Amino acid sequence: MLNLVIAETVNTTLGNLIAVTGAFVILMALLKKFAWGAIQDILSKREEKIANDLDSAEQSRIKAAELEKERETQLASSRSDAADIIKNAKESGELSRQNIIQDTKEEVSRLKDRAQTEIKDERENALISVKDDVATLSLQIAEKILSKELSQGAHQDLINDYMDKLGNTKHEA
């Protein structure tokens, strides 16, 4: 009986092994026929997507490098423009400063000339006024000294003569 149990066990194990192997082979055949194409399509699509992603990443990296170079060029250009603007501003400021100085010098010269002209006019007016005062005083003194009144023509001649003498004495000094 022991032999029989062992034989049955060996037959059962061998039968199970054959049945499982057959089922596995049938399962593999069915998978190949119905699912293998779909699995290969999925794997192929995934492979294409990964390849496209890698290509896209490489293109993005190249574009980023180009943009970086472009930004560096623009930055250098901006720095150059800023330096030019500063240089122009300094030159403009210096030119404005020189113009202001020149205008101020011209204005001072005009004011000085005008002041000299006004001084000259005032001096002449003062001399005329002094002349008239001196003439009047001289006439009053002469009247008192002579105790007589001079005619208007004699008055004028006396004043003019006195003023000429007075003017010559000042110019000689």
User: Any idea where the domains of the chain sit in the sequence?
Assistant: 49-172
Name which of 1-10, 56-65, 132-141, 144-153 the model is least confident about: 1-10
Average pLDDT taken over every residue of the chain: 82
Mean pLDDT of 100-129: 88
Rounded CA separation 73/70 (Å): 5
* Residue 158 contacts residue 150 (beta carbons within 8 Å): yes
Nearest Cα neighbor of 87 from 95, 101, 99 is 95
- Position 139 pLDDT exceeds 60: yes
pLDDT of 101 reads 92
Name which of 24-33, 85-94, 126-135, 142-151 the model is least confident about: 142-151
- The tokens describing 112, both together, are 């000085």
E strand or H helix that includes residue 149: none
Name which of 68-77, 143-152, 163-172 the model is least confident about: 143-152
Give 69-103 pLDDT, tens digit per residue: 999 999 999 999 999 999 998 899 889 989 999 99
- DSSP letter at 148 equals S
